[in-house]
Amino acid sequence: MTKKPEALKLVTLTVTGTTHAGMGERACVDTCTYLEKDEGILVGSRAKGMVLCVSETHPLPYMPTRPFRVNAGAIMSYTLADPTHTRYLSELSAGDSVLAVGADGRTRHAIVGRVKIETRPLLSIDAVSDEGSRST
């Protein structure tokens, strides 16, 4: 049995800019478990400084909720497989484990059911922590 991962210390980021990055491939990560409100996966273009992308648990007027799905980001982005190992979104496949993270820092393992890759308009989001650390 896999040991339950410890909570992560998350920090609040302030978005300092967004830029339309053009069209590209985006990965949707569908898990084999329901994710709670404000729970998702950490995603980023660096191994440190990731952003929490929450699952589709917040209702939208044009589609039903999908509490197993995270619209994670560009395929070249990283996510955490566990607290110390990253994986590219493009490398994830059915049966892999990713680290589900809540906004409060609690973590658990989630099994990937599939990764759906589709062409979408992409945004580049720049953010900074109160301590001055940057995330892109």
> What's the CA gap between 60 and 72, in Å, rounded?
17
Is the pLDDT at 135 greater than 80, yes or no?
no
Is the pLDDT at 113 greater than 70, yes or no?
yes
Is the pLDDT at 72 greater than 50, yes or no?
yes
pLDDT interval class at 133 (50, 70, 90): confident
Distance from CA of residue 84 to its chain's centroid? 15
pLDDT interval class at 132 (50, 70, 90): confident
Cα angle vertex 39, ends 64, 42, to 5°?
115
Looking at per-residue pLDDT, the higher value among 112 and 3 belongs to 112
pLDDT tens-digit profile of 88-111? 999 999 999 999 999 999 999 999
Half-sphere exposure of 33 (CA within 13 A, CB side): 17
Mean pLDDT along residues 47-62: 87
pLDDT of residue 47: 67
Mean pLDDT along residues 112-136: 88
